[in-house]
Amino acid sequence: MTEPGLFELEAVVVGQPKRSRWRTYVGPALAVSTVEGTPPAWVAYPDDTYSVLTKTSGEFIVGIEQFGPVEFRFTDAEGREVGTAGARGLVKTQQLSLRTEQGRRLLLTRPGLLHSEWHLTETDPEESPAPEIFGRVTVSTIDSWIGLQQYVVEMDPRLDASERRTVVASVVCLHLLRRPPGGSATPA
186 is a domain residue: no
130 is a domain residue: yes
Least confident of 33-37, 72-76, 111-115: 111-115
Averaged pLDDT for residues 121-126: 85
* Whole-number pLDDT of residue 164: 96
* Whole-number pLDDT of residue 2: 40
Residue 104 confidence class, pLDDT cut points 50, 70, 90:
very high
185 is a domain residue: no
Query: Please, are residues 164 and 155 in contact by the beta-carbon 8 Å criterion?
Result: yes
What single-letter amino acid sits at 12?
A: V
Long-range pairs, 32-41, Cβ under 8 A, ≥24: 32/6, 32/168, 34/9, 35/11, 35/152, 37/13, 38/3, 40/3, 40/6, 41/6
Residue 130 confidence class, pLDDT cut points 50, 70, 90:
confident
Judged on CB neighbours under 10 Å (0-12, 13-18, 19+), 96 is: buried
Least confident of 14-23, 76-85, 99-108: 14-23
183 is a domain residue: no
Averaged pLDDT for residues 141-162: 90
- Number of domains into which the chain is organized: 1
* Whole-number pLDDT of residue 143: 80
104 is a domain residue: yes
- What global pTM score does this model have? 0.89
CATH for 62: 2.40.160.200
Domain that holds residue 31: 6-17+25-178
* Whole-number pLDDT of residue 4: 62
Q: How far is CA 61 from CA 29, 64, 92, 116, in A?
A: 16, 10, 26, 27
Higher pLDDT, 125 or 172: 172
Q: How many CB atoms lie within 10 A of CB 55?
A: 15
